[in-house]
Amino acid sequence: MLGRVDPQLSLLDAGSLLEGLVDEDSFYGKLARHGRSLVGDEEFADCYAAGWGRPSIPPSTLMLVCLLAMHDGTSDRQTAQQVRLNLGWKTALHLPIDHPGFHPTTFSVFRSRIVLHQKDEQLFRAVVARAVAAGVLPRRSLQLIDSSPILGAGAVKDTYELLRSAIGALVRAAGHHTLSKGSQRQLKRYLRQSKPSIDWQDAVARRAELGRMVGVAERLLAATSNRGECAEAVGLLGRLLAQDVDGRGPDGKGPQLRQQVARDRVVSTSDPEMRHGRKSRARKLDGYKLHLVEEPGSELITAIDVTAANTSDGDVAAELVRQADRNGAAAGELVGDMAYGDGDTRVEVATAGAQLTAKVPPAHNHGRFTKQDFTIDPYLPSATCPAGHTTTRLIGNGRDRHGRQAFALVFPAGTCGACPLRQRCVAGSGPRSVALHHHEALLQQARAAQQHPTVKRKLRRRPIIERKIDHCKDAGAGKARYRGRRKVLLQARLAAVVVNLKRLAVLDALDTVDGLEAAHAA
């Protein structure tokens, strides 16, 4: 049953007894003054059974505890200790100084309720709405977008350890005693704490062990594939075999590790939603990716999301625009870096209701003339080369990453062969071709626009969001505390709420809204 905060403060209320000791401008002091207006118990009514059971710990108190834990970077055990012993926390929560605190498991159970009922999204939206009501955040404005890696909490393993862990997980799901005696004997090798004792430096021995492991895994899958309680573990083991193992090997001598990395490769059995990712050529990561939208005037976060680390930045932009609109602070124009500059992202963002401003990724051709050195008419279509020759010959050029038919304009072989600029244009003996993008006209317009002084000024504002990403990381969004994308999103949203509240405090917007609400009530 829903528990509620008693509006009648205790005689031992920490805020009353310690008045003046906790700085009013600190995060604890601001939360003590405004926390209850941000989070109310009735907002959590749908998380609890109505009319029966013991009253819960007031959920508004637990939500504020979650924000304090993010602010101070405490674990559940440390959080329980802080609630019991830290007078700043007691002041922020309006608890009496003799309050015994809560058991650490209380917080994990409460987080499950938050995730199940989307209360973290509700809180984030309420903070954005508060900023709009205070007049510090426009209802529609130019906003900035960027992403940053989040280091996953799951253990990243090689193929042998992934398979061994997945075999163990499937045996636990099925129940060791339900398997045949023969299967139990074969599985014993892979259920020990340590990996099988072979010469792991010997490639032949490793391949033989892989064949033995694959055989055991396939027999285990055959024995458990029709059991509903094993479906998740069966799916994980089957996916690992498919992504990492070539069943026959290129030489036909049995299972062998695949030579190429699968596009959506699972890297951890403890967190199967983690992925390999790359922020740049030099920066690799295993885990997730944080996506932010910020309004640069107020420096407030208006939208946030978490995806697997291998997700392209542009794939999330349109949804973040829609989220900012739902949160009450629509993005009329979105400014990002070149990761958002492709044609598909521009079209999707426009469909979502915003204009995208970002540099178009440049073309490269190993020092020779690039596509930008040609004059292209995407409507005819035609292309004119630096030597002044024009072609209208259009040929198929495979399919793009979305499966759409691609095309290219090809110059006559004789023209290219006799051209004095050939060495600066073409490698090999064939004629020059110029690929046409599905959104060629749109990209040409964007490439021309990015030279305009107004667009250049907007692009120079983009780095402002880098500081906001650092603030989120300082609040705990740089490294996952939990496993699974949804729980990492919970962590990111709580960090964003902390960052926004601190910014609202700097802007004196919290007091403004409280004054407006009081006047409206009167």
Average pLDDT (69-83) is 95
Partnered with residue 394 across adjacent β-strands are 409
The percentage of residues in the chain with a pLDDT greater than 70, rounded to a whole number, is 98
Query: What's the CA gap between 16 and 253, in Å, rounded?
Result: 78
CA of residue 161 relative to chain centroid, distance? 26
What's the sign of the alpha-carbon dihedral 254, 260, 262, 268? positive
Q: Whole-angstrom Cα distance, residue 119 to residue 489?
A: 12
- Please give the pLDDT value at position 74: 95
- Whether the per-residue pLDDT at 256 is higher than 70: the answer is yes
Cβ-in-10-Å burial (0-12, 13-18, 19+) of 315 comes to: middle
Q: What is the mean pLDDT of residues 206-211?
A: 92
pLDDT at 262 over 90: no
3-state secondary structure 54-121: CCCCCHHHHHHHHHHHHHHCCCHHHHHHHHHHCHHHHHHHCCECCCCCCCCHHHHHHHHHHHHHCHHH
Pair 171, 187: CB distance under 8 Å: yes
pLDDT at 521: 43
User: How far apart are the C-alpha atoms of 217 and 60, rounded to whole Å?
Assistant: 48
One-letter identity of residue 465: I
- Prediction pTM value: 0.91
- Residue 139 clears pLDDT 90, i.e. is over it: yes
Strand partners, 306: 290
Residue with token string 């309420």: 126
**Which residues have CB under 8 Å from 210's CB, separation 6+?**
159, 160, 245, 255, 256, 257
By the 8 A CB rule, do 286 and 261 touch? Answer: no
> Tokens 């003590």 sit at which residue?
32
C-beta atoms surrounding 46 within 10 Å: 12
